[in-house]
Amino acid sequence: MTGAVPLSPAPRVIPSVPGPPVLGSLTQLWPHRLRTFLTRCHETHGPVFHVTGLGRTITVLAGPDANVFAMKEGHRVFRSREAWQPNDQAFGVNRSLISVDGEEHRAFRRVEARTYTRSYLLERLRPALAVVAEDLSALRAGDALPVAAFCKAVITEQLARVVVNGTARPFLPDLLTFVQTTLMVRVTQQRPALAEHLPAFRRARTRSLRMVEDLIDEHRRHTPETAGRAPDLIDDLLAAQAADPAFWSDLDVRMAAIGAFVAGMDTAANTLAFVLYRLGRHPEYAVDLMAEADRVFADGPPHPDVLADLPHLHRFVLECLRLHPIAPALTRTLTQDVTFAGYTIPAGRQVIIATTVPHGLPDCYPDPAHFDPDRFAPGRMEHRRPGVFAPYGVGTHVCAGSGMAEGLILLNLAAILRTLDLEGDPTYQLREVARPTASPDDRLTLRVRSVRHRAVSLLA
**By the criterion CB under 6 A, which residues form the site for ligand HEM?**
97-98, 109, 116, 159, 259-260, 263-264, 267-268, 271, 326-327, 330, 391-393, 397, 399-401, 404-405
Q: Kindly state the smallest distance separating residue 198's Cβ from ligand HEM, in Å.
A: 27
Task: Enumerate the β-bridge partners of residue 434.
Answer: 438
Q: Kindly state the smallest distance separating residue 255's Cβ from ligand HEM, in Å.
A: 11
Q: Which is nearer to ligand HEM, 130 or 451 (CB)?
A: 130
Q: Kindly state the smallest distance separating residue 395's Cβ from ligand HEM, in Å.
A: 7
Q: Kindly state the smallest distance separating residue 326's Cβ from ligand HEM, in Å.
A: 5
What torsion do the CA atoms of 146, 149, 150, 155 make, to the nearest 10 degrees?
Answer: 160
Question: How many other C-beta atoms lie within 10 A of the C-beta of residue 109?
Answer: 17
Q: Tell me if 190 sits within 8 A of 436, measured CB to CB.
A: yes
Q: Kindly state the smallest distance separating residue 459's Cβ from ligand HEM, in Å.
A: 22
Q: Kindly state the smallest distance separating residue 258's Cβ from ligand HEM, in Å.
A: 11
Alpha-carbon distance of 325 to 35, in angstroms, equals 9
Alpha-carbon distance of 21 to 24, in angstroms, equals 6
Q: Which is nearer to ligand HEM, 75 or 282 (CB)?
A: 75
Q: Which is nearer to ligand HEM, 293 or 404 (CB)?
A: 404
Q: Kindly state the smallest distance separating residue 112's Cβ from ligand HEM, in Å.
A: 6
22: left (phi over 0), alpha (psi -120 to 50) or beta: left
Q: Which is nearer to ligand HEM, 64 or 393 (CB)?
A: 393
Q: Which is nearer to ligand HEM, 24 or 407 (CB)?
A: 407
Q: Tell me if 328 sits within 8 A of 35, measured CB to CB.
A: yes
Q: Measured at CB, which residue is nearest to ligand HEM?
A: 401
DSSP string, 381-418: -TT-STTS--TT--STTS-TTHHHHHHHHHHHHHHHHH
Q: Which is nearer to ligand HEM, 24 or 271 (CB)?
A: 271
- Vertex 340: Cα angle to 336 and 341 (nearest 5): 165
Amino acid at site 180: Q
Alpha-carbon distance of 78 to 338, in angstroms, equals 10
Q: Tell me if 449 sits within 8 A of 422, measured CB to CB.
A: yes
Q: Which is nearer to ligand HEM, 42 or 397 (CB)?
A: 397
For residue 383, what are the contacts with CB-CB under 8 A and spacing of at least 6? 318, 322, 375, 376, 389
Q: Kindly state the smallest distance separating residue 155's Cβ from ligand HEM, in Å.
A: 8
Q: Tell me if 190 sits within 8 A of 434, measured CB to CB.
A: yes
Alpha-carbon distance of 317 to 330, in angstroms, equals 22
Q: What separation in angstroms does the CA of 265 have from each of 48, 105, 196, 212, 323?
A: 32, 22, 20, 15, 20
Q: Which is nearer to ligand HEM, 360 or 401 (CB)?
A: 401
Q: Kindly state the smallest distance separating residue 270's Cβ from ligand HEM, in Å.
A: 8
Q: Which is nearer to ligand HEM, 175 or 399 (CB)?
A: 399
Q: Kindly state the smallest distance separating residue 264's Cβ from ligand HEM, in Å.
A: 3
For residue 136, what are the contacts with CB-CB under 8 A and spacing of at least 6? 415, 416, 419, 420, 455, 458
Q: Kindly state the smallest distance separating residue 95's Cβ from ligand HEM, in Å.
A: 11
Q: Tell me if 82 sits within 8 A of 350, measured CB to CB.
A: yes
Q: Tell me if 317 sits within 8 A of 391, measured CB to CB.
A: no
Q: Which is nearer to ligand HEM, 368 or 391 (CB)?
A: 391
Q: Which is nearer to ligand HEM, 310 or 327 (CB)?
A: 327
Task: Enumerate the β-bridge partners of residue 78.
Answer: 334
Q: What separation in angstroms does the CA of 335 have from each of 58, 66, 103, 229, 353?
A: 14, 17, 16, 44, 15
